[in-house]
Structure 1
Amino acid sequence: MAQLDDTMGVTFVGVVVAAILYGVSCVQMFYYFVRYPTDWWHMKLLVSAVWVFDTVHQVLITHTVYTYVITNFGNDMVLGTLVWSLIVEVLFNGFTALLVQSFFVLRIWKLSEKNLWLTVPVLLLVIGEFGAVLAYVIQAMQLGTFAQLDNLKPLSMTVNALAAAGDVLIAVILCTMLHRSRTGFKRSDGLINKLILFTINTGFLTSVCAVLSLITIVTLPNTFIYICFYFTLGRLYSNSLLATLNARKLLRDKASRGESPGGIAIRVDTTKELSRDNASSRYDEPSLKTEIV
């Protein structure tokens, strides 16, 4: 029973951290709709859907903790049983991951000029992760106790492994494409360095969270510490998406002033202009076109 008490402890910590990150994502969503009212409808739909899934997920994990520690306070027998919301929350976390990772896959598709060799492997990881989530939820809904849930840990490990692999691969591909866009000019290369750093940072937290969830489920198989990390994973996905979208205006403003923004990864198209006027010539620095990645 002590193990189950520890489970409720880490679950509670996960809910608190997720709630804090949910507050951050709400602020970011408000900022997005205020600053970008002219965005395409499908972009607004994406942001709205991610926020809805985030909200439902927060409600579900809050219901889980409330059921165990408030409704059934002091009832040790209930601690060994599964609450339905603890299983369903996995599905909504999966929805959030699917939308956000698909957004970045689409960026890779566009920036790589529809390179299938780069896009398809990432897409397969994203689809595979969501498929594993569906399989986990379907099987877990038929179970009644935490002891029975232990049998699904290999499937849970698969979900976390695919999530970590997808996030790392997305960051590596985007950084590689940016690195190859270097022009040799100080201003544009300085911009690209900033964008590479931003790309790494946006994928770093989700990758680390997925890896920590995977590590804890492998090294501590008799605990549920991984739940704490998994609760926050969806919130990190939504915040990475919103941070990417909200950085666009800052990027454009600084780029127009010739500054190197600490903002968003972009597509870098270089054009070299060579003007000859009789005996004189001028060689201009590449111009930069921005596109969200």
Structure 2
Amino acid sequence: MSAAEEPHITVDNTMGAAFIGVICAASLYGVSCVQTWFYFNRYPGDLWYIKCLVAIVWLFDSIHQALISHTVYFYVVTNFNNVSEQANLVWSILLEVLFNGLIGFVVQSFLTMRVWKMSNQNKPLTVLIVLFVLGELTCSVAFTISSLKLVTWTDLTHLKSLSMTVNVLGAVADVMIAAGLFYFLHRSRTGFKKSDTMISKLIMFTVSTGLLTSICAVASLLSILIWGKTLIYVAFYFSLGRLYSNSLLATLNARKSIRGLNDEDGGNVSFSLQTFSNKLRPSRRNMKMAPNQTNISIKIDTTQELIRDKATKEKDFESDITDVGRSEDTSEAV
């Protein structure tokens, strides 16, 4: 986060925005708690590292919520009439930057792995995204270490450029991840109505995930630039980590409902989007040479994928984007 340029922070002109930010973050935290409970109850058979991922995100979320709540309580309640103390920094508002960065790093790393899988291991694209994700985490850690040595809000103004860099890197990483997943999902359309409906729903989740976090990061950045003498930007920054965690949990919890689209008419098709799209490419080439055989070829490929999934019961991790259509027997593995 960035420092306000005003030497003295007063309840009247700055902490109102911070208080609103804590309320919004607390509301989103309640949603993430419900989603976490829902996840562990609905997907007890998920692989252990996916459960650990969810648990770690929830833990960081809880710590971050406790830190920002302590910050507002310190300034608005404990030191409401203590103007000199309000001019000083409290440790919790500095440490919350680190946990916000950690939440973003974990979720963005998870989504980057999806881009890696969906792009058939496109190294240049994946490396570029990883650089932005690592850059955001590095700047968050550097900001936290540097700011903990400071005493007043005036001192914190020297780290304004670093805090702005955190927001910029986060927004760019979110946009790149969302754009990459959107492109590869759109390219994976098969021509089957049910599978295309599932892909469309996944695209909606992908775009909303990147869009919400990007808008929040940009709003925080613009608030620093336009209202630098206030704490308006924290109203957005406090909620950023919560948007990351909720977007992750919403995507994981939506897997069964998305797969349910496949069973509405009694269908039971299981496929991997990545494999399925690769399978269809030769079929599309065959369409030009033997259009009358197209439907038979596609049907055989689809049946082979279903048999292979049932026979091998593969347990390699694939997210709901790369394997949203698994049969109910293997739906517990992401």
Tell whether the structures are fold-level matches, with TM greater than 0.5. Answer: yes
Amino acid at match of 1:146: W
1:232-285 CA distances to partner (integer Å, 9 max, x unpaired)? 0000000011001101111222223359xxxxx9657244689xxxxx965346
**2:84 alignment partner, one of 72, 77, 85:** 77
Instruction: State the alpha-carbon separation in 1 of the partners of residues 125 and 265 from structure 2.
Output: 32
Task: Work out the CA distance in 2 between the residues paired with 1:80 and 1:110.
Answer: 49
Q: Deviations over 1:47-101 (max 9, x none)?
A: 0000000000111111111111111121111111100001001111111111000
Please name the residue that 2:314 is paired with: none
Deviation of 1:20 (Å):
0.2
Which secondary structure state, in structure 2, belongs to the residue aligned with residue 208 of structure 1?
A: helix
Moved more, 103-112 or 217-226: 217-226
After superposition, where does 1:56-71 map in structure 2 within 5 Å?
56-71=63-78
- Using the alignment, how far apart are the partners of 2:206 and 2:275 within structure 1? 14
In structure 2, do the counterparts of structure 1 residues 84 and 97 end up closer, same or farther at CA, with 3 Å as the change threshold?
same
1:19 maps to a residue whose letter is: A
Structure 1 alignment gaps of length 5 or more: 260-264, 275-279
1:95 aligns with 2:123: no
Find 1:138's aligned residue among 129, 135, 145: 145
The residue that corresponds to 1:111 in the other structure is: 118
Structure 2 stretches of 5 or more lacking a match? 1-7, 267-271, 287-291, 307-317, 322-334
Residue 110 of structure 1 and its aligned partner are, at CA, apart by 1.5
- Residue 179 of structure 1 deviates from its aligned partner by 1.4
Q: How far apart, in 2, do the equivalents of 1:5 and 1:150 lie? A: 20
Name the structure 1 match of 2:330.
Answer: none
Distance in 1 between residues matched to 2:23 and 2:241, nearest whole Å? 14
TM-score, normalised to structure 2's length? 0.79
Report what 2:331 is aligned to. Answer: none
Candidates 295, 305, 320, aligned match of 1:292? 320
Larger RCO (CA within 8 A; separation ≥ 6): 2
Relative to structure 1, the CA distance from residue 181 to residue 146 in structure 2 (aligned partners, 3 Å threshold; closer, same or farther) is same
Residue 190 of structure 2 aligns to a residue whose secondary structure is: coil
Q: Deviations over 1:133-189 (max 9, x none)?
A: 011011111111111111111001000000100111100000000111123444443
Task: Give, in whole Å, the separation in 2 of the partners of 1:127 and 1:253.
Answer: 36
Paired residues of 1:216 and 1:226 also in contact (CA < 8 A): yes
Contact 1:107 1:292 in 2 (8 A): no
Describe the SS at the equivalent of 1:81: coil
Q: Deviations over 1:186-213 (max 9, x none)?
A: 4443433332222111221111100101
**Aligned CA-pair RMSD:** 2.5
In 2: Cα distance, 1:98 partner to 1:241 partner: 12
Instruction: Supply the AA of the counterpart residue of 2:104.
Output: A
Give the Cα separation in 1 of the matches to 2:97 and 2:178: 24
Q: Which residue of 2 aligns with 1:212?
A: 219
Identity over aligned pairs, percent? 51
Shift of 1:217: 1.1
Question: Matched residue of 1:269: which SS?
Answer: helix
Structure 2 counterparts to residues 146-157 of structure 1, below 5 A: 146-157=153-164
2:61 is the counterpart of 1:54: yes
* Residues 1:19 and 2:9 aligned together: no
2:51 maps to which of 44, 55, 58: 44
For residue 171 of structure 2, what is the aligned residue in structure 1?
164
What TM-score do you get using the length of structure 1 for normalisation?
0.89
Separation in 2, partners of 1:188, 1:199: 16
